[in-house]
Chain A
Amino acid sequence: MKKVIQKLSYFSVTAMLLMASFISITPSCWALHYQPEVPKSLRR
């Protein structure tokens, strides 16, 4: 069970890091009216 959770965590982290590189290319959050602070490493 622990291994499954860890594998899922690795999968989620990889997916989120990929998503971060996609989100960071845009100036605002999606359709909405709130922009969380973009981490400095993603600012370009």
Chain B
Amino acid sequence: MSYLPISKRVASYLSSQTELSTEKEEIITYVVEIIIINLLNIINLLLLGLLFNVLPEIITCLITVAILKRTTGGAHSNSPLRCALITSVVFLSISVAASYLSHIKQIYIDGMAIATIAIGTFLIIRLAPVDSPSAPIISVKRRKIFKNLSIIVIGIILVVMVFLRQSLWLYAQEVQLTIILSVLWVSFNLTYFGHKFTSQIDRINIQRKRR
């Protein structure tokens, strides 16, 4: 299994201190890898949010995608660097777009929200959960649990959207639009085109490496 050298080093150190079995050392390597990659990406995104003055939007995007993608799954890049690149570009684009679009009339936001929830629910019912070769879902029971959880999450998002619709909060419209665009991004990742898009990005980088 291929993990970052730093994850292997940390796991190896902890294993030597606590005399772990090889199997448990592998699990620790995986957890360290997850912690490092996620922390670096989250710090990177928060800095980008501060830099482009879209911090509330980028935090909303992060929370929405995190909650939804954990149950729906979706397309994944095959390297941590490409992951950071895609995450930064997409999350920043969503946040900046939401910030610019926040001045449009509420009726248009409502229309977009209804369409997004409909598209998201349809794609989740049809496709979720979408696993990857690195993290296959073997059990049929687990698949059903994830599908049901995904539908519950989209329901919760709908409730949050209705709540924000009534809210007088200064950032309510920005947050609504960020949630809409984030749900669309996660839904797109479930589809064939989402996988094609990610694999295209992977391919471009591989060709550059070869040169």
List the interface of chain A (C-beta within 8 A of B): 5-6, 9-10, 12-13, 16-17, 19-20, 23, 25-39, 41-44
Q: A33 and B17: CB pair below 8 A?
A: no
User: What are the 6 A-B residue pairs with the smallest beta carbon separation, nearest first?
Assistant: A34-B83, A9-B17, A31-B66, A27-B73, A16-B31, A37-B134
Output the nearest chain B residue to A39 by Cβ-Cβ distance. Answer: B26
B residues apposed to A, CB below 8 Å: 1-3, 13-14, 17-18, 20, 23-24, 26-28, 30-34, 37-38, 41-42, 62-63, 65-66, 69-80, 82-84, 86-87, 90, 129-132, 134-139, 142, 146, 198
**Residues from chain B with Cβ under 8 Å of A43 in the complex:** 135-136, 138
Answer whether A35 and B132 are a contact pair too, CB < 8 Å, given A16-B28, A26-B70.
yes
Complex CA–CA separation, A41 to B28 (angstroms): 12
Q: How far is the CA of A32 from the CA of B89 in the complex (A)?
A: 12
Q: List 5 A-B contacts (CB under 8 A).
A: A16-B14, A17-B27, A25-B142, A29-B38, A44-B142
Contact B66 A26 (CB under 8 A): no
User: CA of A37 to CA of B31 in the docked complex: distance in angstroms?
Assistant: 11
* CB contacts between A and B, total, < 8 Å: 134
Inter-chain contact B135/A28, CB cutoff 8 Å: yes
Contact A36:B34 (CB < 8 A) given known A26-B70, A41-B27, A43-B138: yes
Give Cα distance in the complex from A8 to B73, angstroms: 34
Kindly state the separation between the CA atoms of A35 and B63 in the bound complex, as whole angstroms: 18
Residue of B nearest to A42 (CB): B27
Chain B residues near A29 (CB, 8 Å)?
34, 37-38, 76
The smallest C-beta distance from B123 to any residue of chain A, in angstroms, reads 15
Question: Are the C-beta atoms of A41 and B76 separated by less than 8 Å?
Answer: no
**A27-B146, A29-B34, A30-B38 are known contacts. Are A35 and B27 too (CB-CB below 8 A)?**
no
- The reply to whether A28 and B27 form a contact with Cβ atoms under 8 Å apart is no
- Cβ distance B151 to chain A, nearest Cβ, rounded Å: 15
Q: Which of A10, A12, A36 contacts B134 (CB 8 A)?
A: A36
Q: Is the CB of B14 within 8 A of A13?
A: yes
Residues of A within 8 A of B31 (CB): 16-17, 19-20, 23
Distance to closest chain A CB from B110 (angstroms): 26
Q: How far is the CA of A12 from the CA of B24 in the complex (A)?
A: 13
